Chains A and B, each alone.
Chain A
Amino acid sequence: MKIKNIFTYCFISSLFLFSLICIWKILVTLQGIELTNFNFNKLFIFGIILCVINLLVGNKLNLNIKIILLAFLFSIFDYFISTNLPIWYSFGIFLISLFFFNNIKDYDKNFLSKNHSSQKLFFNFLTLFGITLFSFVILFPFYMMLVTSFKTQALLLLNPLDFSINFAQGLPELFKSYFIVFKDYNFGRYMLTSTIVSLGTVIITLIFAIPAAYAVARLNFFGKNFLSTSILIIYLFPAIVLVIPLYTIFSQLGLRNSIEGLLIVYTATTLPVAIYMLQGYFKSIPKELEEAGIIDGQNWLGIIFKIILPLSLPAISSVALYVFMIAWNEFLFSLMFLDRPNTFTLSRAIQFLNVGAETPRQYLMAGSVVVTLPILIIFVYFEKYLVSGLTAGSVKG
């Protein structure tokens, strides 16, 4: 057993335990519980002691009993150095330390005497640490978005760290921000507009893209190579360089403040990627199937509808979902083209809420939840399709 390995083991393990505890403490603080010290010194040293004990006990005790005992010891220690904290806090500490000791139960004298074991250990903990940290950093804003929408401005001014949800006040009171957002701020209407625009974009894009993608994938014509490279190049042009000319043209044609105008622009901007994604898939369909169709006397339209479409449903659904996501999240064009509230999309409406007179933040966050939730639900539900859409279309974003 090498001293260096033992040292790394104790130091890193305890640091990892401490960082887990920190995240837990931050979450507890946000429930309005007064907690002003991470107690780094005490917890870190005690963590090291427990890690050494874990090492010394080794396999002499049943592993499960060892884990529970160590976790229990740690929670008791934490309970004594911090005061006036609710019992669920300590229970959380117990669960976290249970998780931690479960992870280090396999490290014994044998493991630490091997070569590279300190590096291996370091990377194991880095992975664990990374997973917790990444999840925390990513989910934290979403969590805050959700809990803020359940609070009121007055309560937040009183204690800006209290995000506890008071279930005792009853559901109508709890969801008050949502009622107000839908009733007073007309979010129902905006949601409808957003849905119409997004679904419309999906449908029109597919109607335009499927024939074009088929032609690029299968048919021979002059300028085919030029077309398929220019699709990619066009796709790389950003919205910001289109905004001024489109604004001038649309305002002179009277297309601003209209859903039609938005549909045209969204379709045109998503069309290149849709064609690009679809033609790649169409190429992978065996040509023999089409030849069989031709022998059966099908024309091009029949081949597309009866052979290509049914076979490429997965690709079409991932294109559809991807286009839906782009259209639903789109902000720049809706900011430029819409300035009358009766044509707002959700994104534009939330921006309008924020810029307009002091809107209480819970309404802003309720609005944000309303725009975020549908897309996250769709994402989680259709993840497989959307991920393949994202990878194929990810040159843009």
Chain B
Amino acid sequence: MSSKLAKIEKRTAYLLILPSVLLVFSIILFPIFSNIWISFKNVELKDLRIPEPRAKKLVKSIKENPNQIKVIYKLRNSSLTQEITDVKFKDKYPDNIEPISLNNKCQFKSNLLKCELGNWPKKYRENLEIVFQNTNNQEIFKKELKSYKPKLSGKSQNILLTYEFTLNNFKKVIKDKAFIDLLSTTFYYTFFGTIGAIVFGILAAQMVNQKFFGRTFMRSVLLFPYVAPVVALAYTWELLLDPTSGTLNNLLINYQIIDGPINLLGQKYVTLNIFGFDFKLRLALTTVIIFEIWRYFPLAFLFILARLQAIPKELYEAADVDGANPIQKFLNITLPQILAVISILFMIRFIWNFNKFEDIFLLTGGASGTRTLPINVYQQGFSIGDIGMGSAVSIVIVVFLLIFMFIYFKLLGKRADEN
């Protein structure tokens, strides 16, 4: 009896999870695996269009003989790169009409014109002309003839489904001189974006954890950048930072803090002079990181605040009795309590910043030294149009991601063991 119940339970469970599993499998897991497939192929954006045989139908009356009419099909292969094989043609005609002569490819049977047009090479163009006559001496309506559309079908090789593979994409990715720069930019962006967001998150959480007027309102406001759509925020920042008409530059010039406008998003390097040493700071990248911090520190804030509110008050009271100062209290009570949250937060944010695409894409489009791996996926795949290359870069991202995840789950498991 119980085994029967267990069986029913099992079957119900599979029934309940099946739709979700199928959907997630086809939209998330299957693409990740097909990435591997595509990355070993030489595919370009223009290859994705499946070649189609096309025919444009023209109907012309013949002046000398009103009982006859000429139909011209302008045939062409839509693809500039691929052949179509075994093209079949079909068109319908009204009752009282028949062709005068037909070439051997075509047949006319019960109002249907059928042709076997064979193979069409790439860029193929040809006209097929057929003269028709009426069988009952009535006028031929051109409009009626035109209203039927010819139907064509053909076979073409789908470049995605062939078994031709190449290692060229990966060779190109790794041999690219900019690859090291790409990696370092990505890590620079990820690391500082993550650290910055966490530091500001801690500061904000410390602040909001105290009692003051308008505290709940403050908490909502702090989450605004995270909740609002990235498109709107990125363009607002772009306008604010614009070198000629941007508010920030104009304000700084107005208050004589700087002499001329600074192109914060368009300048790759800026040389800073600190204690007589020249430092080359990557300006655009730094600006993008600041945007990143601005947008994502609310998340760290939310996590850390939740943890802070769970710290027992007695700990602080005991510290007060011992005469500890605020810094000591922070270092000896608060920090150890939030360290666990911070390490998990760091890993999660690190993984996500590593894959961040929208922010940089909208702010700089990857120009002036802000090209990270995700931006490179887009540029290779869609700007240059080399889908195979884009996929290969995606694979590089996935490999890094798997490494990070491995570390993350190790960490998580360790944490679970400790508790």
Beyond A123-B326, A252-B48, A372-B229, whether A397 also contacts B239 by CB under 8 A is: no
In the complex, B185 has a CB within 8 A of chain A: no
In the complex, A160 has a CB within 8 A of chain B: yes
Chain B residue at minimal CB-CB distance from A264? B27
Beyond A161-B250, A211-B17, A267-B23, whether A350 also contacts B235 by CB under 8 A is: yes
In the complex, A342 has a CB within 8 A of chain B: no
Let me know if A37 and B255 touch, CB within 8 A: yes
A76→B168 CA distance, assembly (Å): 75
Within 8 Å CB of A119, what residues of B?
Answer: 325-327
Within 8 Å CB of B296, what residues of A?
Answer: 397
Let me know if A212 and B31 touch, CB within 8 A: no
Chain A residue at minimal CB-CB distance from B158? A252
In the complex, A41 has a CB within 8 A of chain B: no
A145→B251 CA distance, assembly (Å): 16
Let me know if A246 and B355 touch, CB within 8 A: no
Residue-wise, chain A 359-397 has the 8 Å CB interface mask toward B (1 for contact) of 001001101110110011001100100110011001111
Partner of A242, one of B31, B362, B387: B31
Chain B residue at minimal CB-CB distance from A153? B245
Let me know if A161 and B231 touch, CB within 8 A: no
Within 8 Å CB of B310, what residues of A?
Answer: none
In the complex, A331 has a CB within 8 A of chain B: yes
Stretch from A12-20, A47-55, A218-226 at the B interface: A218-226
Partner of B239, one of A227, A361, A390: A361
Residue-wise, chain B 376-419 has the 8 Å CB interface mask toward A (1 for contact) of 01100110000100110010011001000100000000000000
Stretch from B72-80, B84-92, B214-222, B263-271 at the A interface: B214-222
Main secondary structure of the interface of B (DSSP, over half): helix
- In whole Å, how far is B30's beta carbon from the nearest beta carbon of chain A? 8
Within 8 Å CB of A134, what residues of B?
Answer: 204, 207, 218, 222
Let me know if A244 and B390 touch, CB within 8 A: yes
In the complex, A240 has a CB within 8 A of chain B: yes
A26→B29 CA distance, assembly (Å): 51
In the complex, A285 has a CB within 8 A of chain B: no
Chain B residue at minimal CB-CB distance from A267? B23
Let me know if A222 and B302 touch, CB within 8 A: no
- In whole Å, how far is A318's beta carbon from the nearest beta carbon of chain B? 13
A329→B362 CA distance, assembly (Å): 14
Chain B residue at minimal CB-CB distance from A383? B220
In the complex, B95 has a CB within 8 A of chain A: no
Stretch from B8-16, B58-66, B280-288, B331-339 at the A interface: B8-16
In the complex, B227 has a CB within 8 A of chain A: yes
Beyond A161-B251, A251-B48, A331-B358, whether A144 also contacts B13 by CB under 8 A is: no
Chain A residue at minimal CB-CB distance from B295? A397
A216→B16 CA distance, assembly (Å): 9
Let me know if B31 and A246 touch, CB within 8 A: yes
Beyond A131-B207, A142-B224, A354-B235, whether A331 also contacts B398 by CB under 8 A is: no
Given contacts A391-B303, A395-B348, 12 further A-B contacts (CB under 8 A): A145-B232, A161-B254, A215-B13, A238-B401, A243-B378, A264-B27, A267-B23, A271-B23, A371-B229, A372-B229, A372-B233, A397-B296
Query: Which 9 residue pairs of A and B lie closest in terms of their CB atoms, listed nearest first?
Result: A268-B27, A238-B355, A368-B232, A245-B31, A211-B16, A219-B13, A221-B13, A215-B16, A212-B20
